[in-house]
């Protein structure tokens, strides 16, 4: 099922503008997203203040070390009594020590603030998504979900450590240095302040420009590069035999040239930013000399103080040097904040699906769809004209070639996606819009890519129902033919499965998910390709058994009533037990190509329905496909 995952969940995320700087260095929406997400960090203000103070004192120590040492040396050259220098000598050593200690304390404090912020932000993102609009999560690729809650949250937290604290420290220390120099010579102080301001504003602005330009280049080139790389890796054999590898390499070189040109544009401001700090420092030193020397000769300033105002600027620019990386971080965090906030806004728009399941009356579980069209929000309609009815005791199979949108149909039936048009009702209430806890007590969906948690086998079954006993678990696993697998596990039901079940095979994973679905209390089960990754005979046996459960009493969740079933499959051989088979496909329309995955697609609809036997008799295409499936492996 690749079609829906390919559909962009948020089309606005695609790079649309050709000029990455069209909306300014830090666009308004990025700023407001950053502000909002920083608020969600719940920053510990006292600790943040402490981090800024410790950092400023640490960096200030470096400036003070230079200033005091300059004073001490200049004074020493006048050969005073050594006692007069003793205080300065102690101060110099103290500043030499305090710098490292304070910096260490600042790093700890700022990291603590950031980490706590990340934890808080992550929790609010999770709870918002959990109780927000269901389709926000449904349409989000797992990689994107992890990127939003993982790397993006970290990136917003990093703004504390890498942007806010350094910026505050640079401002405080810069101000302090300028005041110190200005106290000795007002003109030199003003020059230093001006140079610090230029280095602290122009440099970071150039850095932001550079980051935006090169990031833009990267986005443009990366999709082409990965397409070329994927083609070369996937088609390595064919390209070798056909000699097509040369064509691919020249394509690669064309992309690289375009990428290099775009990156050079971004490198220019970065190079200028690197030079500006040094230049500003030099100008400040020259300014101190130009203003300080005449003042000293005129007697307006002590000769010793000349050394201080000339040498202090040499150390004062260490703070502004931190601002370039801080600006780059600001851009990265801004992008991350924007993505997180868009997701949260999407999740909380319209309505929330949180609510209580306290609607105590047990309704008749009856799922019906009338004239339903389905599609990914914001995407095209994938399938239309879907009608079906399922209640306990009835089993329906939805079949059709891969990639036609069968999964999208299931998600809509489960109330996880809004229907584009038409009505999906569960127990008489609209599936999309009723409280989630209520809907999921009637209907549960087991998606093809459902998650296996990194916990024990038993706990993975309890995800569906918290009170599954070990005996029940063993029974359930036996029903899906995982008995031998379970017996071979080192700790049986208590065996911990790897993260996302990388240590179990595709077929085992599929059956474990099936057992989990069977463990749930819901009377209606929607199952996506339960036989995938299994060999043909096992898959067919399993599907046939599932279809039987719909009709046998004693197979239901409470052990006394039958269940309703909608299962999506592309194998037809075992569908004899289904009450109805619904065939999705393209309605015959003059001369178009046979349905294909991707490429040029139009929505599918129900092209045939009936029992397996009826379809075999009346639909030649169905018979052909069923014959392929039931033919013994040759």
Where in 327-386 is the site for other proteins (CB under 8 A)? Answer: 354
Q: How are the residues of the chain apportioned to helix, strand and coil, as percentages rounded to the nearest 5?
A: 60, 10, 30
Site membership for other proteins, residue 489 (CB under 8 A): no
CA atoms within 13 A on the CB side of 280: 27
Least distance to other proteins from the beta carbon of 469, Å? 18
Please report, as residue ranges, which positions from 492 to 511 form the binding site for other proteins (by CB under 8 A).
Answer: 499-500, 505-507
Binding mask 415-444 for other proteins (x = CB under 8 A): -x-------------------xx-xxx--x
Please state the separation of Cα 324 from the chain's center in Å: 26
Beta strand 524-528 with 564-569: parallel, antiparallel or unpaired? parallel
Site membership for other proteins, residue 490 (CB under 8 A): no
In the chain the first and final C-alpha atoms are separated, in Å, by 27
Site membership for other proteins, residue 408 (CB under 8 A): no
Q: Which is nearer to other proteins, 127 or 421 (CB)?
A: 127
DSSP letter for each residue of 253-275: HHHHHHHHHHHHHHHHHHHHHHH
Binding mask 584-603 for other proteins (x = CB under 8 A): -------xxxxxxxxxx---
Stretch that binds other proteins, among 39-47, 285-293, 467-475, 553-561 (CB under 8 A): 285-293
The 3-state secondary structure of 569-612, one letter per residue: ECCCCCHHHCCEEEEEECCCCCCCCCCCCCCCCCCEEEEEEECH
Site membership for other proteins, residue 89 (CB under 8 A): yes
Residues 213 and 261 sit within 8 Å (Cβ to Cβ): no
Site membership for other proteins, residue 79 (CB under 8 A): yes
Site membership for other proteins, residue 134 (CB under 8 A): yes
Among 15, 24, 264, 483, binds other proteins (CB under 8 A): 264
Among 7, 25, 76, 190, binds other proteins (CB under 8 A): 76
Site membership for other proteins, residue 629 (CB under 8 A): no
Site membership for other proteins, residue 142 (CB under 8 A): yes
* Cα angle, residue 436 at apex, residues 430 and 437 outer, rounded to 5°: 120
Site membership for other proteins, residue 87 (CB under 8 A): no
Least distance to other proteins from the beta carbon of 380, Å? 15
Binding mask 3-22 for other proteins (x = CB under 8 A): --------------------
Among 263, 541, 551, 609, binds other proteins (CB under 8 A): 263
Least distance to other proteins from the beta carbon of 601, Å? 8
Least distance to other proteins from the beta carbon of 31, Å? 26
Residues 420 and 379 sit within 8 Å (Cβ to Cβ): no
Q: Which is nearer to other proteins, 260 or 613 (CB)?
A: 260
Please report, as residue ranges, which positions from 28 to 57 form the binding site for other proteins (by CB under 8 A).
Answer: none
Site membership for other proteins, residue 566 (CB under 8 A): no
Please report, as residue ranges, which positions from 174 to 213 form the binding site for other proteins (by CB under 8 A).
Answer: none
> What 3-state DSSP class applies to 196?
helix
Site membership for other proteins, residue 283 (CB under 8 A): yes
Separation of alpha carbons 442 and 267, rounded Å: 58
Among 7, 26, 463, 608, binds other proteins (CB under 8 A): 463
Stretch that binds other proteins, among 21-29, 137-145, 183-191, 475-483 (CB under 8 A): 137-145
Distances (CA, A) of 193 to 49, 172, 182, 313: 24, 12, 9, 10
Residues 164 and 341 sit within 8 Å (Cβ to Cβ): no
Among 184, 199, 304, 477, binds other proteins (CB under 8 A): 304
Please report, as residue ranges, which positions from 150 to 169 form the binding site for other proteins (by CB under 8 A).
Answer: 150
Residues contacting other proteins: total by CB under 8 A: 169
Looking at 139-244, list the stretches that DSSP marks H as alpha helix, in order from N- to C-terminal side.
Answer: 142-147, 153-159, 165-184, 186-234, 236-242
Q: Which is nearer to other proteins, 28 or 594 (CB)?
A: 594
Helix (H) or strand (E) holding 104: helix 83-131
Q: Which two tokens stand for residue 623?
A: 């018979």
> What 3-state DSSP class applies to 616?
helix
DSSP letter for each residue of 504-551: S-HHHHHHHHHHHHHHSS-SEEEEE-TTTTS-HHHHHHHHHHHHHHTT
């Amino acid at each position: 099922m690749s079609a829906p995952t390919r559909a962009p969940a948020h089309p606005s995320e695609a790079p649309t503008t050709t000029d990455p700087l069209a909306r300014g260095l830090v666009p308004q929406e990025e700023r407001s997203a950053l502000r909002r997400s920083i608020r969600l960090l719940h920053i510990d203000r006292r600790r943040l203040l402490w981090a800024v103070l410790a950092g400023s004192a640490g960096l200030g120590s470096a400036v003070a070390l230079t200033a005091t040492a300059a004073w001490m040396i200049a004074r020493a050259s006048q050969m005073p009594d050594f006692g007069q220098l003793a205080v300065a000598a102690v101060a110099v050593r103290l500043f030499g020590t305090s710098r490292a200690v304070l910096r260490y304390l600042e790093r700890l404090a700022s990291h603590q603030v950031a980490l706590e912020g990340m934890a808080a932000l992550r929790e609010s993102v999770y709870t918002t998504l959990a109780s927000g609009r269901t389709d926000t999560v449904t349409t989000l690729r797992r990689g994107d979900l992890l990127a939003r809650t993982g790397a993006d949250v970290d990136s917003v937290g990093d703004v504390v450590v890498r942007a806010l604290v350094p910026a505050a420290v640079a401002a405080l220390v810069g101000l302090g240095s300028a005041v110190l120099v200005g106290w000795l010579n007002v003109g030199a102080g003003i020059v230093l302040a001006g140079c610090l301001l230029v280095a602290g504003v122009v440099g970071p602005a150039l850095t932001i420009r550079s980051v935006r330009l090169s990031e833009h280049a990267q986005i443009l080139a990366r999709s082409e590069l990965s397409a070329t790389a994927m083609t070369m890796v996937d088609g390595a054999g064919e390209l070798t035999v056909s000699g097509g590898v040369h064509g691919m390499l020249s394509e690669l070189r064309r992309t690289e040239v375009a990428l290099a040109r775009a990156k050079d544009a971004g490198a220019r401001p970065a190079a200028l930013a690197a030079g500006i700090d040094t230049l500003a420092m030099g100008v400040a030193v020259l300014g101190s000399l130009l203003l300080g020397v005449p003042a000293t000769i005129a007697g307006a300033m002590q000769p010793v103080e000349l050394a201080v105002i000339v040498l202090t600027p040499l150390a004062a620019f260490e703070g502004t040097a931190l601002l370039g990386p801080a600006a780059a971080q600001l851009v990265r965090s801004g992008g991350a904040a924007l993505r997180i906030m868009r997701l949260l806004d999407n999740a909380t728009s319209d309505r929330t699906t949180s609510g209580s399941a306290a609607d105590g009356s047990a309704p008749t579980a009856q799922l019906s769809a009338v004239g339903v069209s389905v599609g990914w929000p914001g995407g095209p309609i994938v399938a239309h004209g879907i009608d079906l009815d399922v209640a306990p005791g009835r089993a329906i199979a939805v079949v059709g070639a891969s990639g036609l949108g069968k999964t999208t149909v299931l998600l809509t039936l489960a109330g996880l996606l809004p229907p584009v048009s038409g009505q999906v009702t569960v127990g008489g209430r609209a599936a999309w819009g009723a409280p989630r806890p209520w809907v999921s007590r009637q209907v549960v969906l087991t998606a093809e890519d459902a998650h296996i948690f990194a916990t024990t086998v038993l706990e993975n079954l309890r995800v569906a129902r918290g009170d599954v006993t070990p005996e029940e678990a063993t029974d359930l696993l036996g029903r899906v033919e995982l008995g031998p697998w379970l017996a071979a596990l080192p700790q049986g039901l208590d065996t911990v499965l790897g993260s996302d079940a990388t240590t179990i095979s595709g077929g085992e994973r599929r059956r474990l998910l099936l057992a989990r679905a069977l463990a749930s209390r819901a009377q209606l089960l929607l199952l996506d390709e339960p036989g995938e990754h299994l060999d043909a005979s096992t898959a067919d046996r399993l599907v046939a058994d599932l279809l039987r459960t719909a009709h046998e009493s004693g197979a239901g969740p409470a052990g006394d009533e039958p269940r309703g079933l909608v299962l999506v499959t592309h194998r037809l051989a075992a569908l004899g037990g289904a009450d109805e088979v619904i065939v999705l496909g393209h309605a015959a329309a003059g001369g178009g190509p046979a349905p294909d995955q991707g490429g040029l697609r139009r929505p599918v609809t129900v092209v045939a329905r009936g029992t397996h036997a009826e379809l075999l008799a009346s639909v030649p295409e169905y018979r052909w496909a069923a014959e392929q499936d039931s033919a013994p492996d040759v």
